[in-house]
Amino acid sequence: MTVKAPLFALTVCLAILALSCNAPVIKTPTPVTGSTALTSDRGSLVFADDFTDSAAGWSTEKSADFKASFSPSGYVIVSRDLADDEVASPYVIPKDQLSISVTATQSSGSPTESGFGAACDRGLKQQTISYDFTVQIDGTWGVVRYDQRPGATNPQARLKQGTSPKAPGATSITVELMCATLSDGITTRLVMFVNSTQVADITDPVTDPPRLGWLGGLVVRNDGSGPTTVTATHYEERDLTL
Protein backbone atom coordinates (compact mmCIF):
# COMPACT_ATOMS: atom_id res chain seq x y z
CA MET A 1 0.00 0.00 0.00
CA THR A 2 1.31 3.45 -0.90
CA VAL A 3 0.70 6.21 1.62
CA LYS A 4 0.75 9.80 0.29
CA ALA A 5 1.59 12.67 2.57
CA PRO A 6 -0.94 15.52 2.63
CA LEU A 7 0.06 18.40 0.33
CA PHE A 8 0.47 20.88 3.20
CA ALA A 9 2.72 18.53 5.18
CA LEU A 10 4.80 17.85 2.11
CA THR A 11 5.20 21.58 1.46
CA VAL A 12 6.34 22.20 5.04
CA CYS A 13 8.87 19.37 4.82
CA LEU A 14 10.30 20.75 1.59
CA ALA A 15 10.54 24.23 3.08
CA ILE A 16 12.40 22.93 6.13
CA LEU A 17 14.74 20.98 3.88
CA ALA A 18 15.45 24.06 1.78
CA LEU A 19 16.17 26.16 4.88
CA SER A 20 18.50 23.54 6.28
CA CYS A 21 20.38 23.37 2.99
CA ASN A 22 20.77 27.15 2.81
CA ALA A 23 21.56 27.74 6.48
CA PRO A 24 25.02 29.22 7.16
CA VAL A 25 27.64 26.86 8.50
CA ILE A 26 28.43 27.71 12.12
CA LYS A 27 32.09 27.09 12.84
CA THR A 28 33.25 25.73 16.16
CA PRO A 29 35.89 28.02 17.66
CA THR A 30 39.37 26.51 17.69
CA PRO A 31 41.62 29.00 19.49
CA VAL A 32 45.30 29.17 18.68
CA THR A 33 47.53 27.55 21.30
CA GLY A 34 51.23 27.89 21.87
CA SER A 35 51.89 24.94 19.57
CA THR A 36 49.26 25.41 16.84
CA ALA A 37 50.80 25.27 13.36
CA LEU A 38 49.93 28.55 11.62
CA THR A 39 49.81 29.62 7.99
CA SER A 40 49.20 33.08 6.59
CA ASP A 41 45.60 32.24 5.60
CA ARG A 42 44.57 31.04 9.05
CA GLY A 43 41.17 32.21 10.35
CA SER A 44 37.86 33.57 9.07
CA LEU A 45 37.78 36.91 7.27
CA VAL A 46 35.92 39.53 9.34
CA PHE A 47 36.94 42.69 7.48
CA ALA A 48 38.56 43.58 4.16
CA ASP A 49 39.07 46.82 2.24
CA ASP A 50 40.56 47.69 -1.15
CA PHE A 51 40.43 51.44 -0.35
CA THR A 52 38.02 52.36 -3.12
CA ASP A 53 35.52 54.04 -0.77
CA SER A 54 36.78 57.20 0.93
CA ALA A 55 33.81 57.06 3.32
CA ALA A 56 34.75 53.64 4.70
CA GLY A 57 35.97 55.13 7.97
CA TRP A 58 39.73 55.42 7.53
CA SER A 59 41.41 58.54 8.86
CA THR A 60 42.03 61.45 6.49
CA GLU A 61 43.96 63.45 9.08
CA LYS A 62 46.40 66.10 7.92
CA SER A 63 49.19 67.87 9.78
CA ALA A 64 52.63 69.26 9.09
CA ASP A 65 54.23 65.81 9.58
CA PHE A 66 51.44 63.43 8.55
CA LYS A 67 48.84 63.22 5.82
CA ALA A 68 46.36 60.45 5.00
CA SER A 69 44.16 60.61 1.91
CA PHE A 70 42.52 58.55 -0.82
CA SER A 71 43.67 58.46 -4.42
CA PRO A 72 42.87 56.29 -7.47
CA SER A 73 45.93 54.22 -6.50
CA GLY A 74 44.77 53.48 -2.94
CA TYR A 75 45.04 54.84 0.59
CA VAL A 76 48.04 57.16 0.72
CA ILE A 77 49.96 58.04 3.87
CA VAL A 78 52.77 60.60 3.86
CA SER A 79 55.03 60.73 6.92
CA ARG A 80 57.69 63.40 7.46
CA ASP A 81 58.73 62.93 11.08
CA LEU A 82 60.48 60.36 13.29
CA ALA A 83 57.50 58.22 14.22
CA ASP A 84 55.55 55.02 13.93
CA ASP A 85 52.29 56.47 12.58
CA GLU A 86 49.53 53.99 13.37
CA VAL A 87 46.18 54.28 11.56
CA ALA A 88 43.31 52.41 13.19
CA SER A 89 41.06 50.16 11.14
CA PRO A 90 37.36 51.09 10.88
CA TYR A 91 36.54 47.57 12.12
CA VAL A 92 36.10 47.95 15.88
CA ILE A 93 34.97 44.55 17.15
CA PRO A 94 37.76 43.31 19.45
CA LYS A 95 39.09 39.77 19.00
CA ASP A 96 41.24 37.82 21.44
CA GLN A 97 43.08 36.31 18.48
CA LEU A 98 43.41 38.50 15.40
CA SER A 99 45.38 38.52 12.15
CA ILE A 100 46.05 41.81 10.33
CA SER A 101 47.54 42.03 6.85
CA VAL A 102 48.47 45.09 4.80
CA THR A 103 49.39 45.16 1.11
CA ALA A 104 51.16 48.34 0.00
CA THR A 105 53.96 50.02 -1.92
CA GLN A 106 56.48 52.58 -0.67
CA SER A 107 57.99 55.55 -2.47
CA SER A 108 61.46 55.47 -3.97
CA GLY A 109 63.96 57.66 -2.14
CA SER A 110 62.40 56.89 1.25
CA PRO A 111 64.78 56.82 4.23
CA THR A 112 66.41 53.40 4.59
CA GLU A 113 64.90 52.78 8.02
CA SER A 114 61.38 53.76 6.98
CA GLY A 115 58.81 51.10 6.22
CA PHE A 116 55.25 49.93 6.79
CA GLY A 117 53.36 47.09 8.37
CA ALA A 118 50.52 45.94 10.59
CA ALA A 119 49.57 46.74 14.17
CA CYS A 120 47.32 45.35 16.87
CA ASP A 121 46.12 47.25 19.92
CA ARG A 122 44.46 45.81 23.02
CA GLY A 123 42.02 48.05 24.87
CA LEU A 124 39.30 50.02 23.09
CA LYS A 125 39.38 53.28 25.09
CA GLN A 126 41.82 52.22 27.79
CA GLN A 127 45.54 52.81 27.96
CA THR A 128 46.75 50.15 25.60
CA ILE A 129 49.28 47.47 24.86
CA SER A 130 50.14 47.51 21.16
CA TYR A 131 52.43 45.63 18.80
CA ASP A 132 53.82 47.10 15.57
CA PHE A 133 55.35 44.81 12.96
CA THR A 134 57.09 46.69 10.15
CA VAL A 135 59.31 45.86 7.20
CA GLN A 136 61.91 48.50 6.32
CA ILE A 137 63.38 49.79 3.05
CA ASP A 138 66.78 48.38 4.06
CA GLY A 139 65.35 44.84 3.98
CA THR A 140 65.03 44.34 7.72
CA TRP A 141 61.93 43.81 9.86
CA GLY A 142 61.15 44.41 13.51
CA VAL A 143 58.35 43.98 16.03
CA VAL A 144 57.96 46.52 18.83
CA ARG A 145 55.72 46.44 21.89
CA TYR A 146 54.35 49.75 23.13
CA ASP A 147 52.95 49.88 26.67
CA GLN A 148 50.92 53.05 27.21
CA ARG A 149 49.62 52.11 30.66
CA PRO A 150 50.42 54.53 33.50
CA GLY A 151 53.63 53.58 35.30
CA ALA A 152 54.79 51.14 32.62
CA THR A 153 58.39 50.08 33.35
CA ASN A 154 59.22 49.49 29.70
CA PRO A 155 57.01 51.71 27.49
CA GLN A 156 58.79 50.69 24.27
CA ALA A 157 60.56 47.39 23.66
CA ARG A 158 61.91 45.90 20.43
CA LEU A 159 61.07 42.23 20.83
CA LYS A 160 62.75 40.82 17.75
CA GLN A 161 64.20 41.82 14.39
CA GLY A 162 65.58 40.08 11.33
CA THR A 163 66.02 40.07 7.57
CA SER A 164 62.94 40.17 5.35
CA PRO A 165 62.50 38.03 2.23
CA LYS A 166 61.26 41.18 0.47
CA ALA A 167 61.68 44.89 1.11
CA PRO A 168 59.09 47.63 0.50
CA GLY A 169 59.31 49.51 -2.78
CA ALA A 170 57.51 50.09 -6.06
CA THR A 171 56.31 46.47 -6.12
CA SER A 172 53.65 45.79 -3.50
CA ILE A 173 54.30 43.38 -0.66
CA THR A 174 51.96 41.95 1.97
CA VAL A 175 52.91 42.24 5.63
CA GLU A 176 50.93 40.23 8.19
CA LEU A 177 50.85 40.18 11.99
CA MET A 178 48.99 37.63 14.12
CA CYS A 179 48.24 38.60 17.73
CA ALA A 180 46.80 35.63 19.61
CA THR A 181 46.24 35.92 23.35
CA LEU A 182 46.60 32.42 24.79
CA SER A 183 44.36 30.72 27.33
CA ASP A 184 46.25 32.11 30.34
CA GLY A 185 45.02 35.61 29.37
CA ILE A 186 48.54 37.00 29.82
CA THR A 187 50.71 35.57 27.05
CA THR A 188 50.34 36.76 23.46
CA ARG A 189 51.69 34.70 20.60
CA LEU A 190 52.99 36.90 17.79
CA VAL A 191 53.46 35.37 14.35
CA MET A 192 54.67 37.46 11.40
CA PHE A 193 54.67 36.92 7.65
CA VAL A 194 56.00 38.74 4.59
CA ASN A 195 54.38 37.65 1.31
CA SER A 196 53.06 34.53 3.12
CA THR A 197 56.56 33.55 4.29
CA GLN A 198 56.79 33.26 8.08
CA VAL A 199 59.63 35.33 9.50
CA ALA A 200 59.01 35.00 13.24
CA ASP A 201 56.94 33.21 15.90
CA ILE A 202 57.41 34.48 19.45
CA THR A 203 55.46 34.81 22.70
CA ASP A 204 55.26 37.88 24.92
CA PRO A 205 53.75 37.78 28.44
CA VAL A 206 52.22 41.00 29.76
CA THR A 207 50.84 41.08 33.30
CA ASP A 208 47.32 42.49 33.68
CA PRO A 209 46.64 43.38 30.02
CA PRO A 210 43.62 45.53 29.07
CA ARG A 211 40.42 43.48 29.27
CA LEU A 212 39.14 43.98 25.72
CA GLY A 213 40.60 42.05 22.79
CA TRP A 214 42.73 43.15 19.85
CA LEU A 215 41.91 45.81 17.29
CA GLY A 216 43.88 46.14 14.05
CA GLY A 217 45.48 48.88 12.05
CA LEU A 218 48.26 49.71 9.63
CA VAL A 219 51.47 51.47 10.53
CA VAL A 220 53.97 53.65 8.64
CA ARG A 221 57.47 54.02 10.05
CA ASN A 222 59.81 56.94 9.37
CA ASP A 223 63.30 57.51 10.77
CA GLY A 224 62.93 61.28 10.43
CA SER A 225 65.63 61.82 7.82
CA GLY A 226 63.17 62.60 5.02
CA PRO A 227 59.60 62.07 3.81
CA THR A 228 58.14 58.69 2.87
CA THR A 229 54.90 57.76 1.14
CA VAL A 230 53.07 54.46 1.60
CA THR A 231 50.15 53.54 -0.67
CA ALA A 232 47.98 50.76 0.75
CA THR A 233 45.92 48.77 -1.76
CA HIS A 234 44.47 45.98 0.39
CA TYR A 235 43.78 45.36 4.08
CA GLU A 236 42.37 42.33 5.88
CA GLU A 237 41.51 41.18 9.39
CA ARG A 238 40.84 37.56 10.32
CA ASP A 239 39.49 35.97 13.48
CA LEU A 240 42.07 33.31 14.22
CA THR A 241 39.69 31.25 16.34
CA LEU A 242 37.30 30.48 13.47
**pLDDT tens track for 60-69:** 999 999 999 9
| Structural domains of the chain in order of their starting residue, each with its CATH number | 40-239 (2.60.120.560)
Average pLDDT over residues 50-55: 97
Q: What is the mean pLDDT of residues 86-92?
A: 96
Does residue 16 surpass a pLDDT of 90?
no
Is the per-residue pLDDT at 116 higher than 50? yes
pLDDT tens digits along 178-231: 999 999 999 999 999 999 999 999 999 999 888 889 999 999 999 999 999 999
DSSP character string of 113-169: T-EEEEEEEE-SSSS-EEEEEEEETTSEEEEEEEE-STT-S-SEEEEEEEE-SS--S
Q: Which of 188, 198, 179, 162 is nearest to 40 (CA)?
A: 198
- Mean confidence (pLDDT) of the chain: 90
* Confidence check: pLDDT of 17 > 80: no
pTM for this model (two decimals): 0.88
Residue 217 near residue 235 (C-beta atoms within 8 A): no
Q: What is the total residue count of the chain?
A: 242
Rounded-to-integer distance, Cα 199 and Cα 177, Å: 10
Q: Which tens digit of pLDDT belongs to each residue from 132-156? A: 999 999 999 999 999 998 888 899 9
